[in-house]
A and B are shown apart, each in its own frame.
Chain A
Amino acid sequence: DTAVSQTPKYLVTQMGNDKSIKCEQNLGHDTMYWYKQDSKKFLKIMFSYNNKELIINETVPNRFSPKSPDKAHLNLHINSLELGDSAVYFCASRGPGEKLFFGSGTQLSVL
């Protein structure tokens, strides 16, 4: 049983399209995150939700919109995709001791 699962694993799309990435955790954690890892491997926080409430919103273009229907799910919708959005997007949940549990990542390629 995967603790934090993301879909899809790979996403290839054209500039200007809209796409979504889904994340689910079965660990019972209250807090979930989206991170972006660019080509230089820098892992940058985008958003955090605590029990469906947005608590961290970094300087991210408003084309990115997270949604948390319940505390086990955190989805990321991206409008009008740009070349610079190409990256690996990781979902994570925070457990006891503030430890993060990561999903396997979604490799987004914008052509």
Chain B
Amino acid sequence: QKEVEQNSGPLSVPEGAIASLNCTYSDRGSQSFFWYRQYSGKSPELIMFIYSNGDKEDGRFTAQLNKASQYVSLLIRDSQPSDSATYLCAVMAGGYQKVTFGIGTKLQVIP
């Protein structure tokens, strides 16, 4: 079983719609959860982080965490073509705080 699982996509949504990206993780001791965005040919950049169960909102982005189900999600409201990128779910666990990434979901926002 992969440590962090994501559907690689592509996920296509029309402009203005809500994009929903999902991630599951295997280590129940995981402490911190992140969403990174990576444009083609660029390095990953952090867009959201969440540590506690529930929702966390930042502008058009909402991260959701359910530790019982070992599930993290990212919602992007009012999707824009500039949101087209690969979204990487990352999980931190262990005494040395190892950060493990999922394979990423490619999002395409269609104008």
Contacts and interface: CB of A to CB of B under 8 A. Distances in A.
Contacts of A33: 99
Contacts, number: 56
Given A43-B104, A98-B92, 16 more contacts: A33-B99, A41-B38, A41-B86, A42-B103, A42-B104, A43-B101, A44-B101, A45-B101, A48-B98, A97-B49, A98-B31, A98-B34, A98-B97, A100-B36, A102-B43, A102-B45
| Dominant secondary structure at the B interface | strand
A45 B43 contact: no
In which size bucket is the chain B interface? Answer: 20 to 34
Interface of B: 31-32, 34, 36, 38, 42-46, 49, 86, 88, 90, 92, 96-101, 103-104
Interface size band for A? 20 to 34
A103 B100 contact: no
A105 B43 contact: yes
